[in-house]
Each structure stands twice: as structure tokens, then as C-alpha cells.
Chains A and B, each alone.
Chain A
């Protein structure tokens, strides 16, 4: 059960915008609008940031936005802040495996 592909690291300066990609297939990211994004600070529990491609849970900053094109989903963080430095994971429903969920490989965001 292969993971979704994310860049290992992305960096940016405070105030800049960065985008993290999440590439899958037509059996997961491309076939369904069930992509979620999670933020995880070191030693902490993951936190839901985006669900169903582009929806933000209550309490999540509007600096975080999600989108999808074909088999690739993206998370954009605008107005980058030091507290955004964390690991980010995408996740998607997948139709072709016994376990219908798959995570991305994870991206370390560094604020320079």
C-alpha cells in the first residue's frame, strides 16, 4: 500500500507563501474529493487543517488553503509564520486497497 508522494521539505521566509504538493493516482486523490491535511509539531498530536480538499475546520487560520488538480492536491500556507514550522501530511480515501485510507510521505516546513 504505497503512500501519497509529498516533497520531503519546503521552506520559506516569514510573510511568504509556500505550497506543499501531494501526488496520488486516480484511485485516491484524483478520484475523490476526500483529501485532508494534518499539521504535526514535534512531539505533538497531528491536527486537522484541511478536509475534503479545501475546507477548513473551525479555528484553523484562513492562511491555510487547499486545492486539487488532477491527481495532485496542494496545501498553501500564506503569510508564513514561525509557528507554521512543522510536519504536514496529506491523506486521501483510496478505492483500490483493503484499507481505504492512505497518508502522504510527509513534508517538513521550515521557516527561515
Chain B
């Protein structure tokens, strides 16, 4: 059974930093492209970042480029999202997600809540 378990969500002040983790199990992690998707309270889904199975290729939404860094440790089956210079508009539930073939998400984590507020 595929499981994705996010951790690291917290309340942080504007300008602060936070690192989210996503522990994966139930599939061959080092061959799976992974994504972070966020959902602000009462709003829609937004792609944040993506990373290839090897970790060599990464992608970011314009709104987080230069502030967020996605990485993975395939020896630990764990995905990370380092978030710096956080803004109030980054407040959201952050989902870790596994890519399926054909540019779809076939599994989602339960989400980690990040609140940016003074």
C-alpha cells in the first residue's frame, strides 16, 4: 500500500523558514517523480514544485522560485521542501504527491499545514 506522510508544518513568522518532509512507502521511491501541491484555505489546488526520481531535475512555480527548494533522499525514501523567505500568501496545506504515468498524480499525502503570520 502506497503511503505518503508529511511532517514539519507549523506557524511561522513572515520572512521565516520551514522544511517539510514526506516519508514515502509502498512503492519504488527512487524511480518515482514527486510533487508538492498546495491549497490555501478555501482556495484551489496549486502546483508548487516537482522533482525527478533521481533528483537531478527540479521545477518550481514562479511564485516560489528562488525561495523554495525541493530535494529528496532516496536512501531514506523521503522528499523535502525547504521554504525560505516565507510570505503570508504561502499559508496553505501542502500536499506531497506521487506522479503516475501521463502527468497525473496517483497518490496524495494527507497534507502539512503551513501558516505564515505575525
Contact = CB atoms under 8 A, between A and B. Distances in A.
Interface of A: 1, 3, 32, 34, 36, 38, 40, 45-46, 48, 51-52, 55, 57, 87, 89, 91-93, 97-106
A45 B111 contact: yes
Given A46-B108, A99-B47, A1 B103 contact: no
A101 B108 contact: no
Interface of B is mostly: strand
Interface in B55-86: 59-63, 65
Given A45-B108, A103-B46, 18 more contacts: A1-B61, A1-B63, A32-B103, A34-B103, A38-B45, A38-B105, A45-B95, A45-B109, A46-B105, A46-B108, A48-B104, A52-B104, A91-B105, A98-B60, A100-B59, A101-B50, A104-B44, A105-B44
A65 to B, nearest CB: 16
Contact of B47 (A36, A40, A101): A101
Contact of B103 (A40, A93, A104): A93
Closest 6 A/B residue pairs (Cβ): A106-B44, A34-B103, A51-B104, A36-B104, A93-B103, A52-B102
A51 B99 CA distance: 12
14 contacts: A32-B103, A36-B102, A36-B103, A36-B104, A45-B108, A45-B109, A45-B111, A57-B106, A89-B44, A91-B105, A97-B62, A98-B61, A103-B44, A103-B47
Contacts of A57: 106
A45 B45 contact: no
B17 interface: no
Q: Which of A1, A34, A40, A99 has the most CB of B within 10 A?
A: A99
Contacts of B65: 98
